[in-house]
Amino acid sequence: MINSAENEKTVGITGASGALGKELTKLFRKKGYKVIGFTHRINNYETSLESPNEWIKWKCGKESSLKKQLEKIDILILNHGIYDLSRENSNYENSIEINALSKFKFLNLFEDVALSDDSLIKKEIWINTSEAEILPALNPSYEISKSLIGKLVSFKKNLLDKKTKKKLIIKKIILGPFKSELNPIGIMSPKFVSEKIYDLANSKNYLIIISPNPLTYLLFPLKEFFNFLYCKIIYKYKS
């Protein structure tokens, strides 16, 4: 449960101007959090009771310039991404850069911020990877980028050293199709998804799965278990 002390936390949300980002913002504002919205497309930076308390405009590839802003954040939700159906090589490059490498840069940067923080309260980072990490999405470039960020997050989580584990909590968000500009025929509503993310993230579970597909609830825990075993083997041979 969320108590009054936790309600004073600051949440950062990338992709805050998208359908899910807006619903997450409204929910966290309603719960008493301060919200910092990261976006690359907003122009007027207007604020209201349902918008972020503060807007930060950023550009993919320039994540390192955000370190000072990230130092103010207790929970960082990586929610930005693209879904481009074109078959051009540039689409593959953009999808990999935005959906995978950008999020991994944020993760590494926030890890550095957490390690340099003197607070006894752990920082948290929640990364939206999507069930397209291992299930078809009828979009090869999207599937490749989601598979990449999914693996990067899994390995990062399982290979954290003891010092980092005391400072940083990593959670992976696995979402099925929800209605948005990227997916106008999505089954789930962004509001429903945001509420489920909030409820499930309050547990100690690493995986946050929200999907109408029962296979997702079977396949992802199995995948993460085998990743865990693989990383244990890596540790064994390193020592």
Burial class (CB in 10 A: 0-12, 13-18, 19+), 38: buried
Interatomic CA distance for residues 17 and 180, integer angstroms: 11
Buried b (16+ CB within 10 A) or exposed e, 54-91: bbbebeeeebeebeeebeebbbbbbbbbbbbeeeeeeb
- Is 142 one of the annotated active-site residues of the chain? yes
Q: Name the catalytic one among 142, 206, 217, 237.
A: 142
Q: Are 133 and 91 in contact (CB under 8 A)?
A: no
Q: What are phi and psi of 81, to 5 degrees?
A: 175, 170
Catalytic residues: 142
